[in-house]
Amino acid sequence: MSTIIRIAFRNVIRHKRRALITAITMMVGIGFFIALDSLYNGLDRLSVDDVINFRDSSVKIFSAAYDADRESYPLDKGIPDTTAVGAWLEQDKRVVAVTPRTQFLAQAGNNRDSVYVIGNVVDPVSDAKVFLLKNALIGGYFTQRAGSDRQVIVGKDLATKLRLSVGDTVVLAASTRYEAQNADDFTIVGLLSTSDPALNKSSVFITYDAANDFLDLGGLVTEMDVRLEPRASLPATLADSTAVAAATKAAFPTLAPYSFQDLNKGILTVLKQKRAWGYVMMLFLLLIAAVGIVNTVLMSVYERIREVGVLKALGFRGREIVRMFILEGFFVGCLGSLLGTALGALINCYTIYVGFSLAKFGDVGGGFVFWGTLRGEWNPGSIIFAVIFGMVVAMVAAYIPARSAARMTATTALRFV
């Protein structure tokens, strides 16, 4: 066996130019596969992070009573003891911050037209630790002057529809906690421009100070939102979300905690389908590389058929000859996979640690806004897959012509020109 390994290895070295061309073909295929996979992961992460940062947080908690009637945004079924729940959550090392929110149905108008909206009552200080509304604002955030003028942040598209801008007044009308109708003027301090069209088109944000008066809330909190420590990979992020939601349910059975997966099954399904198509495209990339490998290995085998004849005349068995060529394919595959992994890792280093700013894409229409930085993500599974794929393709590519060469009689192989 050692002689077969020696012959195979030295043949790779002897035909180093051809081996290098094959390895470079593999390097490009595998390298771009790894890099594209990383970017796909990054895109998935960006989508999930946007939902976490602007809409759902990492874990969302309702009271069980509110949860049963959640679609109608009731203002009489809040979380009884938010302080106790908040204190318990903050003991968990994974929890970064907790904030209360209260959602209500309202109409926003400009004295001529009005639009149904979902109102969000927030505590500006703690909310900014859980959500990143501040990062997606045109204009400013709430100015903290307790009990002072009524301020509101509205979605950018909503403001456009009502022909309003920062500094203008919007009229909000809603039922109070005790089902009395109330309407009041709010000053727009900021316009929200996120990647979530629903937030941009039909959301308003006011403070608890304003809402306690406007809606007679009396401090009612209908949901608590939890921000968890950022994790390097999406699966780890989702796992943390599930674990914290489950622990909260165990500690507070009367609450209804929701993990990211619970709230966003649809998004995760779409991401999964998108990923499947992405893999199909990336596999095409690898197959193109595979064609290059097959071609060069075929040349290598056919050039050396006389050598096969000599080995057979000396007493080598067919399977030993096949093994020798497969080993050559393996060595070239190792080299190509190694180079491909290095190239992929290099591109990943840039995409993961520097990233691509999406700000320049801006508003692409249809309410979709690109913002932030697209970063890749390490995916050891796909790196291992690409490396194994490269080696297997190189070995299979070597096997097919080697088998036909090994089946030749020594005399035919020796006469082969």
Partner 1 sequence: MTVGETILKLEAVRKSYVKAQRSVEALRGIDLTIQKGEFLAIVGPSGSGKTTLLNIVGCLDLPTSGSVLYDGRELGRMTETELSAYRKENISFVFQSYNLIPVLTVQENVELPMVIERRFSRGEMRSKALEIIRAVGLDQMADRYPRELSGGQEQRVAIARALVKNPIVVLADEPTANLDSHTAEEIMSLMEAMNRQRQTTFIFSTHDAMVQKHARRVIVLHDGLVSEDRKEAA
**Could you say whether residue 17 binds partner 1 (CB under 8 A)?**
no
Residue of 10, 16, 129, 265 that binds partner 1 (CB under 8 A): 10
Radius of gyration of the chain (CA): 31
**Helix 82-90 to helix 234-251 angle, to the nearest 10 degrees?**
130
Nearest to 247 by CA among 64, 409, 131, 92: 92
Start-end of H helices in 105-227:
124-130, 156-161, 197-202, 208-214
194: left (phi over 0), alpha (psi -120 to 50) or beta: beta
Residues in 307-326 that interact with partner 1 by CB under 8 A: 307, 309-311, 313-317
CB 403, min distance to partner 1, A? 17
Stretch that binds partner 1, among 20-28, 51-59, 251-259, 306-314 (CB under 8 A): 306-314
Q: Of 13 and 364, which has the nearer Cβ to partner 1?
A: 13
Size of the site for partner 1 (CB under 8 A): 21
Binder to partner 1 among 212, 370, 410, 416 (CB under 8 A)?
410
Tell me how far, at minimum, the Cβ of 296 lies from partner 1, in Å. Answer: 18
Tokens representing 321? 């000859």
Among 11, 248, 341, 351, binds partner 1 (CB under 8 A): 11
- Cα–Cα dist 45/169, whole Å: 37
Q: How far is the CB of 7 from partner 1 (least distance, A)?
A: 6
**For residues 153, 158, 164 and 169, what is the CA-based torsion angle, rounded to 10 degrees?**
-50
The DSSP annotation for 207-259 comes to EHHHHHHHS--TT---EEEEEEPP-SSHHHHHHHHHHHHHHHHHH-TTEEEEE
Q: What is the DSSP letter of 93?
A: T
CB of 330 to partner 1, least distance (A): 16
Q: Which stretch, 27-35, 142-150, 286-294, 404-412, contacts partner 1 (CB under 8 A)?
A: 404-412
CB of 335 to partner 1, least distance (A): 17
User: Binding to partner 1 by residue 14, rule CB under 8 A?
Assistant: yes
Residue 338 interacting with partner 1 (CB under 8 A): no
Residues that bind partner 1 in the complex, under the rule CB under 8 A? 3, 6-7, 10-11, 13-14, 306-307, 309-311, 313-317, 409-411, 414
